[in-house]
Structure 1
């Protein structure tokens, strides 16, 4: 048995222990973990500096995602504390009913068991995943990217120390420190130990996991996110929403990547929004019709329309109406988040009903597709599939159903 398989075996044992911890103890331990992060911030930041020192190939937005300083660690601790304060997802009340023969059926909410997380250069995921899985009574196996390995080791050790201080099995939270491809390949096929695997990262990375895993996978994250500006849009409001969705945090999956504009307002609106985006440092690409209106736009390739940039880049297309916008988005979407900027009730209704995405907005920045913003405390990921969970995944997405049946000798005729 190799070391990754041994981690899986230990996680299976630990899952039985954490599943039966009382809710108040789980919550108190999360509060203690938040305190430990604050107290250990200097060691965490020092480890993070080692990661940053060798992360020379990352874009500025991706490097910002990797960075842990005292403020970022404080914010992570606050998020962890907010998870502690959430209601217990296992508590019920449960649906229950009686069979005609008299036995009682209870539909109970229980943990999934062992959750594996595979993610790239995102050390905050280490804490978010550990907090949500622990609160929902699951054990977790974390396998982060090599870019954040030093940060992840200190973060995981900090959380495991709190478990040990409470005389609990530290293997409730485990980190795979082997950052080779072989460790991922092994993890993807440990059906005997892992109940569900959740990947977070680039679209290419998530596709690799989905295609190569034999364990159940919840597909998350890739965000080729569109904003469509309808002819009826309030233009000042639209510019504000677009700028926020693109520039507030460009390396995340809910950042806007594509902009569609109704042809009736393109001559007036396009130069305004392009000027605003250029002032914010965004490179603007577009189709020929957009270039004809504003020469500051560079030509988009076919590949651009399918690309999640995770950078200060956006591609613009002019469309004739809402129907064309809907058709274009459904052809190119990653089923994450899509927005319409419009005051036309009929167009908004069509957009809401026909767009195939986890979250669909009217007049709202796509940046709000987030577990914390949705009131979940934190998120384990944003599911872009339809089975089990969809959209921002909080505590309830980490549970399943178990039927308990109580009788007194009934047999089936």
Structure 2
């Protein structure tokens, strides 16, 4: 949630921040609810004080034998209890409305985030590697995988529907090899390997910002759990409702997990192949940092993700997201787009985001900045990388004219020495 005190003191700054995301002014209705809630709290306190005072006077009246006064005071106490109950119900209702409003509002972008309305306005800030010049027409990854007999969408569709795949043989091993290489690289950078739950409660998703706004993109069980859309949810929630020691920060975590997304709103986009699936594997990085170090941590996480593509010698570019393309919980984000020869374009393979204290406030995650000085941490997350999309990029960039795949040099040890898939 946002800091109501800060909104009261600087409403124009908050409205300006949300305006950069294309939202109408929000603070007027927030402050109207806030004033109503504070008045209601005051009235509850006054009614409770009157009830307590009358309750004490009942005993005195009874001691003096004044039954009439005692009965009057009892009536007064009963009336006060009714008022307290009614005001309490109103307070709960208004507070819930305000909390829902605050929970639905996105993070405020950093001042240096470029202004824009869509991904077309993102700013390219770096490019690495040169796309390979093929002397034949490169094929798409799904055509390559199916021709090898190692990528089966038809069988997956029979049991699960569209946007699923069965990987077999060397491609299944390559999927595992890529994840292992990524984990080795991220743990070598100081990220602690973690195996978190894949099922979480709604509170965890509220904490990281997937709920309530993006519920339609989540898979909910018949009980009270949701399947995680990314390990960011589980990893970030490891510090919820905690007060951390400053000298333990930054706390860096990494995990290789399956992720589950309904892909609501993406109808017709990337329905063919492995680019956009309901279930996919990802190596995630999360960092819990102090406000003073979060910007440097953001750049460090970007470097760690880039290093994977450089080791695999895959051409890519880095773009800074504009205000119109910024994720809900992010205040600043970088996307890494890898080159796909079949599409002759760069496609997203990682997004590295600094959420500031946006998630920490929702999770009540703090650190000790000094004696009796507990402050909210900053949280950061990013893919290091999306394993399936990395597999796609390897297949397309390392394909041969006969349909075989050359295994990247860095991946050969993880493939048991296999240098070519054919």
Q: TM-score band, normalised by the shorter chain? A: under 0.3
Q: TM-score under structure 1 normalisation?
A: 0.21
* Pair member with larger Rg: 2
TM-score, normalised to structure 2's length? Answer: 0.21
